[in-house]
A and B are shown apart, each in its own frame.
Chain A
Amino acid sequence: MKTKSLVSIDDLSTDEIMEILKLAAEFEKDPIRDILRGKVVATLFFEPSTRTRLSFESAVNKLGGKVIGFTDSSSSSVTKGETLNDTIRTVNNYVDLIVMRHPIEGSARYASEISTVPVINAGDGANQHPTQTLLDLYSILKTQGTLDNLNICMVGDLKYGRTVHSLLIAMSQWKTTFNFVAPEELMMPEEYKIYLKNRGLDYYETADLNEVINMADIIYMTRVQRERFSDPMEYEKVKNAYVLHDHMLADTRPGMKILHPLPRVNEINTDVDANAKAYYFEQALNGVFTRQAIICTLLGLK
């Protein structure tokens, strides 16, 4: 039997997801523990992702573990031409768990098959980033008290946004209503809509955020990037249509929360930050608890 790794959100059953979220809640109550004393975790970041790396390192440090690794491939032997295979086979001798970020899709699955210790995928190209999905689920559960019967409004780049795709798949385990708000060029791909249809879930598409904002329990904002547009004129036309301002929140549901995977650029105006419905920085904090829960689950520690 191979060691248990977390590569894709599909690797987890609904029960396993709920177990991790439950454990994350325990870490939130009491995040400083000595569970990882004597354990070493590698953070192998073949491409930089400061936020994700710091979140993992914080999670390990708070549990008394040590972290070794590199922050981008220019400071590793990859620049000497070492294969991923060799890097993993070497590093797994030094550590109890590997956290890995890599620009090549499928690299984490491959690493998990080679490695003798569990591998956590911290993003493999445009493919998967399951710890982000789990911290999103934790944030939704914590703020709404349930994952069932929620109205989730996804805004921005729904075509290339890895986080919204994974969240959609994960939330479709429950009776969720989705609103997709995106410019024409960045609409939710057909395959995900078919997936929802097959599961009998409702979704609505619109280009106007104001149309659906007041129904939402969760607004999940993402960044609309200029380089995604084939026609720069199109970008100029739509770039301000997907920016959230404080005045737009006046009639939204009282318990509604705004999530964002961060980093934010201008899609959430800073005047929203002071609103109690803004939740993206707390969401980042939840990432630490969720990652503590994931690491301990994979290492079989409670």
Chain B
Amino acid sequence: MQNINDPKQLLVSAIETGTVIDHIPAITLFKVIKILGLDKIRNQITFGTNLDSKTDGKKAIIKIAGKFFEDDDINRIALVAPNAKLNIIKDYKVIEKRVVSVPDTITAIAKCMNPKCITNFEKVTTRFRVVSKKPVALRCHYCEKITDQERLEII
């Protein structure tokens, strides 16, 4: 539960209704924003980054007012924020907590690391089968090469 008297909690203001995404690695915050298309919606969004976290080093948090996500949409961020936790907020209260899980297939988010892959030459929507979830390893539907966590780039 949030304690509004705790000055750390005040770094990012509370929302009445919406979704709080916590435990995002600070370095992937902007990837998460891009994957969820938060840069294109009109909802009020506040975020904080480089916050201290006991478990994740530097973390980021995003609060989106008036917005709820389907599992399929939110799981897309699992590639870059595998430990992200969602708090669904109504009337300033957390009514539900959710975690993300890496889906079995990844479409249109990741870039194939193979420079000779067709997806890096023509306008082809990338598609991958997830062959390992932790650490993430993706097999390209087109060139069949593996893109691993280290070389993972978000389009």
Contacts and interface: CB of A to CB of B under 8 A. Distances in A.
Contact of A109 (B123, B142, B145): B142
A109 B116 contact: no
A273 to B, nearest CB: 35
Interface residues of B, number: 16
B118 A104 contact: yes
Contacts of A128: 144
Given A125-B116, A126-B116, A105 B122 contact: no
A163 interface: no
A85 interface: yes
A290 interface: no
Contacts of A85: 122-123
Nearest to B124: A110
Nearest to B144: A127
A84 interface: yes
B155 to A, nearest CB: 16
B122 A110 contact: yes
B144 A104 contact: no
Contacts, number: 48
A133 interface: no
Contact of B122 (A83, A103, A124, A125): A83
A132 interface: no
B121 A104 contact: yes
B87 interface: no
B49 interface: no
Most A CB contacts (10 A, CB to CB) among B123, B141, B142 go to: B142
A92 B109 CA distance: 30
Given A83-B122, A84-B122, A85-B122, A109 B141 contact: yes
A103 B118 CA distance: 10
Interface string B120-150: 0111100000000000000011111100000
B116 A105 contact: yes
Contacts of B121: 84, 104
Nearest to A128: B144
B19 interface: no
A23 B115 CA distance: 38
Contacts of A84: 118, 121-122
Contacts of A104: 116-118, 121
A104 B141 CA distance: 14
B114 interface: yes
A252 B112 CA distance: 45
A129 B123 CA distance: 24
A110 B118 contact: yes
Contacts of A105: 114, 116-118, 142-145
A85 B119 CA distance: 12
A104 B119 CA distance: 9
A108 to B, nearest CB: 9
Contacts of B118: 84, 104-107, 109-110
A8 interface: yes
Interface of B: 112, 114, 116-119, 121-124, 140-145
* Closest 8 A/B residue pairs (Cβ): A106-B142, A105-B143, A106-B143, A106-B118, A107-B118, A109-B142, A110-B118, A105-B116
Interface of A: 8, 83-85, 103-107, 109-110, 124-128
